[in-house]
Amino acid sequence: MDEAWYDDEAGPIVRPYTITRGRTPGKHTRLDTATQVITAEPRPEAPRLELAPEHRLILDACMRPVSLAELSVMLTQPLGVVRVLCGDLLDHGAVFVRSPRTEVSRDILEQVYRGLCRL
């Protein structure tokens, strides 16, 4: 972490609400902790998207699929901040996201049940 932006007693000097400009995740509430984010290629041009340093960090970190939870740890930012920043990048086509499958088939449930019974 850049020492100029960290105070040992107070923590990060730039507060989360400053990074997101007070915004909260709106239409991107489907982005949960397990959502995988990957950088789109080619990257968007600078005039099309005004990138904050945190946006650039996300783009660099997501050359391979990375979950929002992992990004939160990498950026040392709360999950809500990462969700807002990824939403920005998603709106501009700079990243792709893939949410985990939510429906579970009966066959998978039966396999889990049989596996648990064998324990």
pLDDT along the chain (119 residues), means of 10: 53 56 63 86 61 85 92 87 86 85 79 91
Q: What is the pLDDT of residue 14?
A: 56
Q: What is the pLDDT of residue 43?
A: 62
Residue spans of the domains in the chain: they are 16-100
The pTM of the full predicted model, rounded to 2 decimals, is: 0.63
The CATH architecture assigned to 16-100 reads Orthogonal Bundle (1.10)
CB atoms within 10 A of CB 4: 7
Q: What is the pLDDT of residue 92?
A: 82
- Reduced to 3 states (helix: H, G, I; strand: E, B; else coil), residue 53 is helix
CB 72 within 8 A of CB 84: no
